[in-house]
Structure 1
């Protein structure tokens, strides 16, 4: 049985469509393009990939089309049911903290959501421990984190930040914990070096943390849909150029970290 916070389950079942966000919004499209770019850069050809927290299969679909053997695991039953309709990869209900997969059974383990929905440090450590367990020696563990500055930057860029709601963004900035009152669901937000430390502490080597979207994310997010195509190439190039610059990594909404088992 999956022990999923009811608020998170309700959010993803009833209020949020991940596929729509990554395909239609300007920021989402930039995040999607950059995530594809980084994963294609890192993944060996024809890998066995375990996509933990893979939702409805937004990444599993293109990974399978690229020739990878993909198994998607997600705690939301409705997500798994939708993902299974793709027919090009395996989809099953599961918990990042207690995987059914055998030891050293996959080449690449993706955690593109679990680490920011596991608020307790012990739960994140357990998820990383499980990721290492199922990954073959020499394989990769790749994990996403949400930037702790992200909500504050977004609200300050779209006109929604005010003296009355500032605390909704500064409190998570101080603690990393989001209680779901600012629009997003219950979550934990990372600093880039904190995410790196969690992967290193778990036992991964050669850990690298990159910024995903770069400084232009808010421009695309607040751009009319018809104008996004014209801005996306430059925004992607900028994100790629500054992805490892420690001064600019925190301008991205998301971090993507990789380490070797």
Structure 2
């Protein structure tokens, strides 16, 4: 998770912190289509992990789901997150489990990391770019990630697709498509489709808080404009999440493998990138 966009709007920041402090994201990757996001993200991230111990900054890493996975693999992982509640949860969990400890767990803002220059091999931005709704703020976060990366270091940045809410409303997840007939929901997706700006209606308090939804080309452009070399943009879930019996298929090992393979085969197909709720853009310093 991360932060308000137009440095501006304290109301946005309050809504974002309220959303994450409430623990909404704690189990998101274990239910619904979050399960394929989790598995596919690990596949993509793993391509950029070396066999040696790496210093990794998980910036905006929430409660540390990816941090703990990376620590289990033997890396030195630092969880840097804006939400005090998420940080407290991660610290308590570490004390309880007492295995594969994270090197540090602290409250931090993606735009101003209290870390030395060129100190990380890999930086994850698995949420900050969602909630920085002004482009200059997203560029600032990317430049800050670049500052702390060693020469040749890798940045992996997540973006939410411009079309995610619309496709969700049209899919089997969208309450039998009743959302499409709701003027409030339609007003929300109209703004998303035309401006990329997601403003959560009061009528839907459980939707994700204030956010920006990217076009694939925008995400790539922000990385390059921040001075990094773009390597690839991969669809995380790809188009397979729309299968009507997704949960049933996912629980069948053979079908799950087929879904994962399809997502992998089309992950860089430009004509399908926008169908994936999440994208991971990879860049090198």
TM-score class, shorter:
over 0.9
1:103 positional shift: 0.2
Pick aligned residue for 1:32 from 38, 61, 72: 38
1:169 alignment partner in structure 2 = 189
**Change in 2 beyond 3 A, CA 1:3/1:191:** closer
| Equivalent residues of 1:50, 1:110 under 8 A apart | yes
| Equivalent residues of 2:188, 2:199 under 8 A apart | no
> Are residue 129 (structure 1) and residue 156 (structure 2) matched?
no
Give the TM-score taking structure 1 as reference length: 0.93
Structure 1 gap ranges (5+): none
- CA RMSD for the aligned pairs? 1.7
> Are residue 105 (structure 1) and residue 112 (structure 2) matched?
no
Pick aligned residue for 2:67 from 56, 60, 67: 60
| Equivalent residues of 1:214, 1:235 under 8 A apart | no
Q: Distance in 1 between matches of 2:115 and 2:166?
A: 38
Give the TM-score taking structure 2 as reference length: 0.85
1:19 positional shift: 3.3
Q: Distance in 1 between matches of 2:223 and 2:230?
A: 10
Secondary structure of the structure 1 residue equivalent to 2:166: helix
Secondary structure of the structure 2 residue equivalent to 1:209: strand
Tell me the number of residue pairs that the alignment of Structure 1 and Structure 2 aligns.
256
Stretch moving more, 71-80 or 163-172:
163-172
1:210 alignment partner in structure 2 = 234
After superposition, give the CA deviation of every residue in 1:74-132 in whole Å (9 maximum; x if it has no partner). Answer: 00001011112325102100000000000000100110000011111111011011000
1:44 positional shift: 2.0
Q: Distance in 1 between matches of 2:49 and 2:210?
A: 30
1:3 positional shift: 7.1
1:228 alignment partner in structure 2 = 250
Q: Distance in 1 between matches of 2:90 and 2:242?
A: 29
| Equivalent residues of 1:199, 1:207 under 8 A apart | no
Structure 2 gap ranges (5+): 5-12
Structure 1 residue runs of 4 or more that deviate by more than 4 Å after TM superposition: none
2:165 alignment partner in structure 1 = 151
Stretch moving more, 133-142 or 205-214:
205-214
